[in-house]
A = this chain, B = another copy of it.
Amino acid sequence: MTTIQDIKTLLETYFRPVELIGPGDTVITGPAKIEEAGAGQVSFVANEKYFRFLDEAHASLLIVHSDAPVSSNDGGRSFLKVKDPYTAFVFVLQRFAGTRQVAAAGIAHSACVASTATLGRNVSIGEHAIIGERCVVGDDTIIGPNAVLMHDVTVGNGCTLYPQVTCYDGTLIGNRVIIHSGTVIGADGFGFAPQQDGSYIKIPQMGTVEIEDDVEIGANTTIDRATMGRTLISRGAKIDNLVQIAHNCQIGNDTVIAAQAGISGSVRIGRQCLIGGQAGFAGHLELADRTSVAAKAGISKSVTQPGQAIRGVPAQPMREQLRQEALVRGLGAMKQKLDELESQLRDLRRQDT
């Protein structure tokens, strides 16, 4: 049983100060979206523009920004004021989140674990999972049912690989990494040498994929191994579903890549970038730190100055692209004016002659 006071105490382990307005002894049964929350539930308002929802919200507890215009004389509801209500609510969600069991503790009866594999303490290996020769699985790591680690794969501590994940040979995964179902790590890069008769010879893909700590990768994403060397996903990067990351790419720390984006071979993306959904990169580019790429952008050349926003196909700085889009939308008016000038000029010339 969790009271408002308990939630205040929880938040105080992360934030100071946490100001309680209203009663603290109400029991909270769970979180909800602000428009759906009712009695006994907790919700939040992070953004000034949602303050208008405050009046009609029926949650028993609302987590709000320190500056929110709320006071104690509010019929039965309570407020917790913090400096970052969004993150505070994440901690509340974690408090109420049920336990998801990806695989039962221990090694499932039907899992195939190679005799040369090394398993840490408190490892869970799901039914029909396959752990290949010389694999290493760290402490507290969960390998979901039907997941496949080919040979020589190393997975760190505290990781979760969901059902049906595949890691090709040699993949190296850090600690606290989460990989969702259907994702394929380390398949061959797409490399073929063209021959004179129009056919292709496969270029052996001898490199690996290395995924650093605290990375999360969505479902049905593909990250190819390097031709030589490694494809690198750096610490803290977050990658959504159905993303393609080609051979020899490097993705920087804490960079976020939205669904269906495609990163061609040997692209180097900096730290703390934001890559929009369905964006695509030509090969061998560099993207400076903190670049923000709009959804559906097509990046055809490197971005060297950090902190820019880019957009369009081919992508250019946001401001230029928006101006260009406005000019294109104004083409009808421009054409009309041109026709008018032509007609006026014709009149003038007629007068002149």
Min Cβ gap A263→B in Å is: 9
What are 23 of the A-B contact pairs (CB < 8 Å)?
A31-B206, A33-B228, A33-B229, A90-B202, A93-B206, A93-B227, A100-B150, A102-B150, A108-B112, A112-B127, A128-B130, A146-B146, A164-B164, A164-B184, A182-B184, A190-B218, A199-B236, A199-B254, A220-B221, A242-B244, A313-B313, A327-B335, A344-B349
- How many chain A residues sit at the interface, stated as a range, is 35 or more
Give the residues in chain B near A327, CB-CB below 8 Å.
328, 331-332, 335
Q: A187 touching B127 by the CB < 8 A rule?
A: no
Encode contact with B along A313-330: 1 for CB under 8 Å, 0 otherwise: 110000000011101111
Which B residues lie within 8 Å of A203 (CB)? 90, 93
Given A97-B204, A187-B180, A87 and B193 contact (CB-CB distance below 8 Å): yes
Q: Told that A278-B278, A338-B338 touch, could you supply 11 new A-B pairs with CB distance under 8 A? A: A86-B193, A98-B206, A110-B112, A112-B128, A126-B130, A192-B216, A192-B256, A219-B224, A260-B262, A296-B313, A344-B345
Establish whether residues B166 and A181, one from each chain, have CB atoms under 8 Å apart when the complex forms: yes
Given A244-B259, A295-B298, A345-B345: A164 and B192 interface contact (C-beta under 8 Å): no
Are A349 and B352 neighbours in the complex by a CB distance under 8 Å?
no
What does DSSP make chain A's interface, helix, strand, loop or mixed?
loop
Identify the closest chain B residue to A109 (Cβ).
B112
Which chain B residue shows the least CB distance to A102? B150
- Copies of this polypeptide in the complex: 3
